[in-house]
Structure 1
Amino acid sequence: MPLSTQEEEVAEALEKITASLENLQLSQEEMQANLEVIEVIEEELQQQSEHLAVESQFYYELFQFAPDAYLLTNPQGVILKANRAAATLFNVLHSFLIGKPLALFVPETERSVFRSKLNQLSLVDSVQEWETVMCPRGGQPFDASLMVAPIRNTSGPLVSLQLSIRDVTKYKQVNLQPQSVTARQLLPLAAAIETPHSLDGLRVLFVDDEADAREFITVVLEQHGISVTAVASVAEALSVLERSRPDVIISDIRMPDEDGYALIQKVRAIEAEKGWHIPTAALTAYLAEDRAKALKAGFQSHLHKLAEPTELVAMVAQLAGRR
C-alpha cells in the first residue's frame, strides 16, 4: 500500500536525522582523535619545557660561576647582565652593576677613548680585542683585556654587546717589564739555540698594534742578534716591504682597520710580483684563535703570545732555516 504524503515526509525526516546522527558520531570520533593528538603534543611540549628549563639553568650557572668576568650591555655600554666574577672584579654587589655604564669603571682619562671604541662597534661584525685600564670601586686601577662581540638583530642594527674582561696586570708585569730588566732575564735563552750567534743579522718584521707587545718581542729577539723592525699597522708593514725584504714576518692577527689575515694576503701578492718567499708566523693573544684558520690563510706557523720566549726564538729560527 503506497505511503501517504505525511508518512513520506516522516520517513524522509527520519533518514535525515539518522544521517545527522551518523555525522555527529563521526565528528565526535574525529574530535576524540584530535584530543588525543593534543594530549600527545601537550606532553611533548611539557617535556621540551622541562628540558629547556634544565638547559637554561645549566647555562645560567655556567655564566654566573665562570672564572672570568662576563657582561651583556646595550650598544651604549650600559650593563644589562653580569656574572659574579664581574661583581668581584669591580668590587661591587652584583645588583649594583645592572643599569650602570661600563665606562663608570674606566678612569676618566681613558673614557673618551673607551666610548669611541664602543661607537666604532656599529661598523664591525667580528669579535674585537681591546686593552684598556679599568678601576674597581675603591680599588687600584688594573690593566684589562676585553673581548667584545657585537650582537645584531636579523635586520642588521646593533642590539647588544657581549664582553669578557680579564685582569692582565700580573701577566704584563711578568712578561712586559722594562727592557733593562727583561734583558737580564732573557740571557738564559741562548741555550735554546744550538749556536749562540746563529741568528745574528736575521731580519724580522713584527706587526702588532700594541706598543707593549712590540717592545717585548723586540727585546726577546734582539737578545739573539736578530734585527727587528716593529710596526703598528698593516700599512706600516707594507711601507717597510717597499724598502726592504725581511727574512721572517711575524704578525698579530687581531688589529684594528686591517688584521693579520689582510696582511698575509697582501704579502703573498707582493711575493708573486717580486718573486720573493718570506716565511710568516701568526702571533695572537686571543685564546680561541683558530690555528688551522691562520695556517689556511697562508701563515707557516702560529704561536700564542703567552708562549715562552724560547718558543718564539725557536719558531723564528725554524722559519728562517737556522738552528
Structure 2
Amino acid sequence: MSKEEFTYSFKKNLQQIQELEKYIMQLPGQQAIAALKAVTASIENLEVFKEEMQTTLEVMKDVQEKLLQQNETIIAECKIYHDLFEFAPNAYLFTDAKGIVIKINNAAAALLNVLPNLLIGKSLISFVSKKDRLLFLTKLKQSLNVNSVQEWEISICPLEGQAFDAILLVKPGRETSRGLDVLQICVHDITKYKQLAASQQIPALSAPMEKPNGLDGLRVLFVDDEADSRELIAAVLMQHGVVVTTVTTVTEALLEVERSRPDVILSDIRMPDEDGYALIKKIRALEAQKGWQIPAGAITAYLAEDRAKAIKAGFQSHLHKLAEPKELIAMVAQLAGRSEK
C-alpha cells in the first residue's frame, strides 16, 4: 500500500468512526458511555498505527534509495567487466560441452570473420579445419574432466578468409546460473611464428607462444555468486597465464581448497547464505589444522566496503571490482609473491 492509499483509507475509516460516534450518542445511559470509550480507544489505536505506518514508509523509502544506488553500482561494475571482455585485445569465447558458442568477444569474432551476435548459439567446430575436427571433438569430450588449462593446436578456417594455425588455451568451468558445464577458450593465431621458424629466421619455438608474465601456472581459486563477475575476472587472470578455478559458495570453496590447495584465494565479500568473512574464517581454521598458508584477497562490488574490516578478518589484500585489470593482476602477483612480468 502506498502512502497516498494509506492516507485515503485512514480518512475514510476516521469518517466512519465519527458517524458511529454520532449514532452512539443516541444510545441510552451506560451503553452510550461504554460504546464511546471503546470508540475512543479504537481511534487512539488507529492514530498510533498511522504513525507506525508513516515511519515504516519512510524506512522503506530509504531502503529503496539504497537499493537503487547499489543497483547502479552493480550495473556500472557489470558494464566495466563487459567492456573489458568485449574489447580485450586477446580473443576469448565461452562454449558449452558440445562446442556451442555461449559468449564471444570482438577479437575472437574478428578472427572468425563473423559478427559476434551471429556466432552465439553456433558450433565452433564449423570453423575448425576438416583434418582437425575429429581431434577437436575428442578434446572437447575430454576437457571437462581435466581441471587445468590445456593447450590445443588446431587449424581454424574463418568465414571467407584464409585458414590459420591457432593455439587454444582451454579451461573447464561451470555456469551455475544456467546449470551448464562451460569451456573458457583463449585463441592465439600462431601462423607468423610457424612461418618465421620454418624460414629459420628465428629458432623453432619450444612452446607455441610466449607467456606474457611471471604468473604462468599460478593456481587461483575465485569465489563469487555472480556469473558475470566470475567469467570476466577469470578471463583477466587467464590472459596472464593464471589457472583459474571458480566456485559460487563457501561450501564449494572449502571442498576445492582441500582437494587442490590453490596458490591464492580470491573471494567476493557479499554473498548469500555465507559471505566472504565466513569463508576466510573457515579457511584460516583449516590452515591451522593442515599447517598451510594460503594468501587470500577480498573483492567487493560495494564502494563503502571496509578494507580494514576485511584485513582484520584474515584477508591479506582488498580490491574493489571496479578497479583496473592491472590492479587485479598486481594484487594477485603480490599475494603469490611473484613478479607480474
Q: TM-score, normalised by structure 1?
A: 0.52
The answer as to 2:82 corresponding to 1:82 is no
CA distance in 1, matches of 2:239, 2:86: 22
* Alpha-carbon shift at residue 162 of structure 1 (Å): 2.1
* Counterpart pick for 1:213 among 206, 230, 237: 206
* Counterpart pick for 1:118 among 122, 140, 149: 140
* Counterpart pick for 1:288 among 241, 251, 264: 241
Letter in 1 for 2:241: A
The answer as to 2:185 corresponding to 1:163 is yes
Asked whether the equivalents of residues 175 and 182 of structure 2 are also in contact (C-alpha less than 8 Å), the reply is no
Letter in 2 for 1:166: H
CA distance in 2, matches of 1:60, 1:155: 17
CA distance in 1, matches of 2:47, 2:28: 28
* Alpha-carbon shift at residue 88 of structure 1 (Å): 1.2
Gaps in structure 1 of 5+ consecutive residues: 187-210, 216-252, 255-284, 297-323
What SS does structure 2 have at the residue aligned with 1:99? Answer: coil
CA distance in 2, matches of 1:16, 1:162: 71
* Alpha-carbon shift at residue 141 of structure 1 (Å): 2.1
CA deviations on 1:99-140 (whole Å, 9 max, x unpaired) are: 210011110110111011111123233333322221212222
CA distance in 2, matches of 1:22, 1:67: 69
The answer as to 2:93 corresponding to 1:71 is yes
- Match of 2:149? 127
Asked whether the equivalents of residues 144 and 181 of structure 2 are also in contact (C-alpha less than 8 Å), the reply is no
Letter in 2 for 1:83: N
* Counterpart pick for 1:55 among 77, 81, 87: 77
* Alpha-carbon shift at residue 213 of structure 1 (Å): 2.6
* Counterpart pick for 2:35 among 6, 13, 23: 13
Asked whether the equivalents of residues 101 and 124 of structure 2 are also in contact (C-alpha less than 8 Å), the reply is yes
- Name the Cα RMSD after superposition: 3.6
CA distance in 2, matches of 1:58, 1:64: 10
In the superposition, relative to structure 1, how do residues 72 and 63 fare at CA in structure 2: closer, same or farther (>3 Å)? same
Moved over 4 A (4+): 153-158
* Counterpart pick for 1:45 among 64, 67, 74: 67
CA distance in 2, matches of 1:59, 1:133: 30
Asked whether the equivalents of residues 67 and 85 of structure 1 are also in contact (C-alpha less than 8 Å), the reply is yes
Gaps in structure 2 of 5+ consecutive residues: 1-26, 209-215, 218-237, 244-261, 264-291, 293-341
* Alpha-carbon shift at residue 153 of structure 1 (Å): 5.0
Letter in 1 for 2:206: A
* Alpha-carbon shift at residue 81 of structure 1 (Å): 2.1
Asked whether the equivalents of residues 156 and 166 of structure 2 are also in contact (C-alpha less than 8 Å), the reply is yes
What SS does structure 1 have at the residue aligned with 2:206? Answer: helix
User: Larger relative contact order (C-alpha < 8 A, sep ≥ 6)?
Assistant: 2
CA deviations on 1:8-63 (whole Å, 9 max, x unpaired) are: 22222122111111111111111111101110111111112222222222222212
* Counterpart pick for 2:46 among 1, 19, 24: 24
CA deviations on 1:194-245 (whole Å, 9 max, x unpaired) are: xxxxxxxxxxxxxxxxx97389xxxxxxxxxxxxxxxxxxxxxxxxxxxxxx
CA distance in 1, matches of 2:84, 2:184: 15
CA distance in 2, matches of 1:289, 1:128: 12
Letter in 2 for 1:213: S
Asked whether the equivalents of residues 122 and 158 of structure 1 are also in contact (C-alpha less than 8 Å), the reply is no
CA distance in 1, matches of 2:150, 2:52: 58
Letter in 2 for 1:99: G
CA deviations on 1:167-218 (whole Å, 9 max, x unpaired) are: 12223334x448xx47xx67xxxxxxxxxxxxxxxxxxxxxxxx97389xxx
Asked whether the equivalents of residues 150 and 158 of structure 1 are also in contact (C-alpha less than 8 Å), the reply is no
Asked whether the equivalents of residues 157 and 163 of structure 2 are also in contact (C-alpha less than 8 Å), the reply is yes
In the superposition, relative to structure 1, how do residues 61 and 289 fare at CA in structure 2: closer, same or farther (>3 Å)? closer
Aligned residues: 195
* Counterpart pick for 2:57 among 14, 35, 40: 35
Letter in 2 for 1:9: Q
Asked whether the equivalents of residues 150 and 169 of structure 2 are also in contact (C-alpha less than 8 Å), the reply is yes
Asked whether the equivalents of residues 148 and 163 of structure 1 are also in contact (C-alpha less than 8 Å), the reply is yes
CA distance in 2, matches of 1:26, 1:41: 23
Asked whether the equivalents of residues 70 and 165 of structure 1 are also in contact (C-alpha less than 8 Å), the reply is yes
- Mark the structure with the bigger radius of gyration: 1
In the superposition, relative to structure 1, how do residues 20 and 214 fare at CA in structure 2: closer, same or farther (>3 Å)? closer
Asked whether the equivalents of residues 91 and 105 of structure 2 are also in contact (C-alpha less than 8 Å), the reply is yes
